[in-house]
Amino acid sequence: MELHDPTADNLCQYLLAPAARTPDKAAVVEPDETGTLTEVSYRQLAALVDEYTRALEPLGLDVGDRVVVEAHSSAAAVAMLLACSKLGLPFVPVSPQTPDNRLLAILRSVEPALHARADGADRRDLPWAGDTARFGRSGLTTEHPPAPRTRRRRRVLAVDTAYIIFTSGSTGRPKGVVMSHRAIVTFLRAVIADGLVGDTDRVASTSPLQFDFALFGIGVALGSGATLVPVGRENLDSPRRMVNFLRDAGVTQVHGVPSLWRPVLRHDPELLKRLDKVRSVVFAGESFPLAELRRLQEMLAGARLVNGYGATESMAASFTDVPDPLSAEQRSLSIGRAHSGAEMTLVDTSGRVVTRPGVVGEIHLRSPSLFSGYWDDPQATAQVLVPDPLDPRHGQVVLRTGDLAYLDERNELYFVGRADSQVQIRGNRVELGDVESVLAQLPAVTSAAATIVPRGGDHVLMAGVVLDDAAAPFDEDAALDFCAQELSAYMRPRRIRPLADLPLTENGKVDRVLLARLVTTAV
């Protein structure tokens, strides 16, 4: 009898545990090379992990040596991540879409022992002389095996790094978020214990591998003994393709950012009624505009819609059910309260804890699942892992999220925005979400985004709107008049420009930097 439960300390042990209980259960469902959906059982996944582990072991890599894994989410990619975890090799997931210069910056920063690329992830050779390997369902081959390294550690521990995720970061240089095995396994156990996923679920994950929303899908699907259905970009590029893929794969839970749903809601919302097996949707990454969320709720009648809030630095912090029905009066979505085992506290600018409803403070997260720090950046780490404002003497650190929120009367949190983007306009704090929800009420508008652009020492508010196809030419003056009726003077956009689509970041969030450029240059 193991005195110590190894699944608690290692991501691979934890996620492969179902292989012992239900070896023939599908762990992953994915299209094969002909596009036919195939099932990879937990037993087959475990066998692939063993095969990769056997191929990696002779390379003599040491606990803590990094492996950059360049792949789309797939059974082979999952097996690669788990083989790295088993050997104590922190994986750094990047998607094949990552631009060359960003991948080079990551390679130069983490100095990986190996750059492992999935079969089919073809990228022109990079000016990087490091060691590379290729992997797929047929195994792992090293093109340039790394020189043997001196092993200094004998055991893989819970405190060792499971992965490093580079966030684009709202400002400047990408930062590597270092997550330990203990942090991620503790988090996954808590979220599964809260009942988000059950072992009969088929969990569709639509985010690219370098976004921890994808790791979240892998973690909760395998951690609960359910089935992961990675959805490739080729199955997301049209509403019909997406709906047909989700239906044919028998998906019961869909994970995705709000923009995942925008095209089908705009072009063919009725298609969503075909998803009669979908019992729940988890969205994360940014606020889901209420007008669009209401339409999704109508189309997926009865499905549970969950607002997943949080940052890569703790993977996430809360999962809150959207009220059903979402009343027309509701102006913003709650991010509820922290998942079990964690706690969110609001702290005001003078460091005092906010307990009164309606008062805005910065969310501080206490949790056993906080990241270890930013890779090679102790200064940036010290900015966000701060002494507990309630009593610094403990030496315990909390995550300073940079997110502003307020409490309602039921002690539930409502997200207001990023502290670093709470630009004042003539001294007033602008809530972009409020501007966007007014714009979404315009007749021809199917989605809207607002942004603040500097103009002559102050800031002005500009907006972009996406029109439904049949719309006549956009009448900006009428739209500005409507905003004048609905919004206080400082919240009114200076210009409202029609856009073909809202610009998105690599992870599918609205790209407000690109938006600012588009709306100020649109003719």
Binding interface with ligand 8PZ (CB under 6 A): 167, 212-213, 216, 284-287, 307-312, 315-316, 335, 401, 403, 415, 418
Q: Which is nearer to ligand 8PZ, 403 or 511 (CB)?
A: 403
Closer to ligand 8PZ by CB, 9 or 212: give it. Answer: 212
- Encoding tokens for residue 368? 């056993």
Max Cα distance, the chain (Å): 74
Distance from C-alpha of 212 to C-alpha of 161, rounded to nearest angstrom: 15
Report the amino acid identity of residue 81: L
Query: Which is nearer to ligand 8PZ, 163 or 415 (by Cβ)?
Result: 415
| Shortest reach from residue 37's CB to ligand 8PZ, in Å | 25
Cα-trace Rg, the chain:
23
CB 121 within 8 Å of CB 72: yes
- Whole-number Å distance between alpha carbons of 385 and 379: 10
Q: What angle do CA 373, 378, 381 make, to 5 degrees?
A: 45
Cβ distance to ligand 8PZ smaller for residue 88 or 433: 433
From its phi and psi, is residue 153 left (phi > 0), alpha (psi between -120 and 50) or beta?
A: beta
> Distance (Å, rounded) from C-alpha 344 to C-alpha 354?
11
Nearest CB to ligand 8PZ, comparing residues 49 and 315: 315
**CB of 512: closest distance to ligand 8PZ in angstroms?**
12
Among residues 44 and 252, whose Cβ is nearest to ligand 8PZ?
Answer: 252
Taken in order 171, 176, 180, 186, the sign of the CA dihedral is: positive
The neighbour count for residue 51, using CB atoms within 10 Å, is 17
User: Which stretches within 387-462 are classed as H helix?
Assistant: 432-439
Q: Closest approach of Cβ 165 to ligand 8PZ, in Å?
A: 8
Q: Closest approach of Cβ 388 to ligand 8PZ, in Å?
A: 19
Minimum CB separation from ligand 8PZ for residue 428, in Å? 21
| 3-class secondary-structure state, position 59 | helix
Q: How many Cβ atoms sit within 10 Å of the Cβ of residue 415?
A: 20
Question: Which one, 52 or 283, has the nearer CB to ligand 8PZ?
Answer: 283
Q: How far apart, in whole angstroms, are the C-alpha atoms of residue 31 and residue 13?
A: 26
Please state the closest distance from residue 284 (CB atom) to ligand 8PZ, in A: 3
Tell me the closest approach of the beta carbon of residue 178 to ligand 8PZ, in angstroms: 14
